[in-house]
Structure 1
Amino acid sequence: MPDITLTPGTLVTASYKSGEYIGEIVELYPPRVAVVKILAVQKHPAQGDLHHPFATDVPLFHQRRALSYQEKASAPLASVRLHTGEVPGYKESLLAALDAEIHTLQNDDSEWAKRALSELHALQNEYRTL
């Protein structure tokens, strides 16, 4: 990470598993990990088995929820980037990221996309009541 000093309190964008989030650094454990407090969702996590992406013939097709507001996650330091700009509200960003993920999969006729959409629609109903 060139010429950027990350310290606790710094606003960052970080990847965690298959999702992407805006958060605040809480702790640093160089050279590998930053503990990030989640403030907003940029990309909703992909559904299914992370070890077998796009496969439906897996023992468990996981429903992957986005990390919760102010949840702390250990993100790989290599995925952490300085965040500039506004931080959207958590619920607003969560629903926007979920809608974007649904929109991306709507024209995919694969079995995996159908299963993923089913899980995302279930999450959509749950998220709207938050």
Structure 2
Amino acid sequence: MNAVSLQVGDQVIAEYKTGVYYGEIAEQPGAMKAAVRILAVREHPTQGDLHNPMEADVAYFHQRRALAHLEIALMPLATIKPYGGVVPEYQESLKRALMTQMSKLSNLEAWAKRSLQELEQLQADYFSK
């Protein structure tokens, strides 16, 4: 998508850092970026150190908040796509995005625990001889 096709007021889906948002173009876009007014949250930002994914023991484990309702963020044009659907209400979208992220992490935790159990059984099988 290029800046020429984006107009002030156009509804978009845009990525900002690790979150994905429903928004609208707030100012006429430049050559590389556009100012997007946040209307709702599609995907909550990822927590932790992005340079060391899936690592809990890092120097600084980042807590990332979702962008606020009506906050304006400057986003690269490559991360912005037109959106023609219904934009959900901000609070409800934030709650849904947060719960989805928490559910994914809970499922990952359950998978990791089960995988460890299976590996422990294999370890016993491999080295009990």
Distance in 2, matches of 1:46 and 1:17, equals: 9
Distance in 1, matches of 2:66 and 2:50, equals: 14
User: Where does residue 92 of structure 1 map in the other structure?
Assistant: 92
User: Where does residue 34 of structure 1 map in the other structure?
Assistant: 34
Tell me the matched-pair count.
Answer: 109
1:16-31 superposed matches below 5 A: 16-27=16-27, 28-30=29-31
Q: Quick check: 1:61 aligned with 2:61?
A: yes
Distance in 2, matches of 1:93 and 1:55, equals: 28
More helix by share: 2
Distance in 1, matches of 2:44 and 2:104, equals: 11
Q: Which residues of structure 1 form unaligned runs of 5+? A: 111-130
Identity %: 48
Q: Which entry has the higher C-alpha Rg, 1 or 2?
A: 2
User: Where does residue 11 of structure 2 map in the other structure?
Assistant: 11
Q: Deviations over 1:50-98 (max 9, x none)?
A: 2322222321111111000001111111010001110110000000000
Q: CA deviation at 1:5?
A: 1.4
User: Where does residue 49 of structure 2 map in the other structure?
Assistant: 49
Instruction: Determine helix, strand or coil for the equivalent of 1:106.
Output: helix
CA RMSD of aligned residues (A): 1.8
Q: Which residues of structure 2 form unaligned runs of 5+? A: 113-129
Instruction: Determine helix, strand or coil for the equivalent of 1:64.
Output: coil
Instruction: Determine helix, strand or coil for the equivalent of 2:37.
Output: strand
Q: CA deviation at 1:108?
A: 1.6
Distance in 2, matches of 1:60 and 1:70, equals: 29
TM-score, structure 1 as length reference: 0.77
Letter in 2 for 1:107: N
Instruction: Determine helix, strand or coil for the equivalent of 1:29.
Output: coil
User: Where does residue 77 of structure 1 map in the other structure?
Assistant: 77
Letter in 2 for 1:45: P
Letter in 2 for 1:29: G
TM-score, structure 2 as length reference: 0.78
